[in-house]
Amino acid sequence: MDESEVERNVVDLTVTCQGSLPTEVCTVVSDADCFMPIHTMCNTVAPSNECQLVLRHFFNDSGIFCINVSMTNDVSLAVTSAKYSMTVDDSKPTFL
């Protein structure tokens, strides 16, 4: 797979928050029914003056996926979800 194919199989999600800054962010990519997890990744978040994170995920297969993102710190938890349609090797993936 060359570099342009890899770039077409990647999704960058920009997540913003209000209030206290997160110390950890987790992303769970599941099947189209949001039932079976396919990939889970959690990372600590470096302190910053603004709450904006870019989360990058590489897809190996085409399909509809459920993407759940959670951000947490000592006092709060925020969660958001989206369904995403990905066609591997197609440069026009879409959110559903």
Please, are residues 86 and 59 in contact by the beta-carbon 8 Å criterion? yes
CATH 2.60.40 fits 3-95, yes or no: yes
Residue 66 CA to residue 78 CA, distance in Å, equals 17
Tens place of pLDDT for every residue, the chain, 96 residues?
444 444 568 888 888 888 888 999 999 999 999 999 999 999 998 877 778 888 888 888 889 999 999 999 999 999 999 998 988 765 555 555
pTM of this prediction? 0.78
Q: What is the DSSP string of 17-63?
A: --SSPPSEEEEEEE-TTS-SEEEEEEEE----SS-EEEEEEE-SS-E
Delimit the domains of the chain by residue range.
3-95
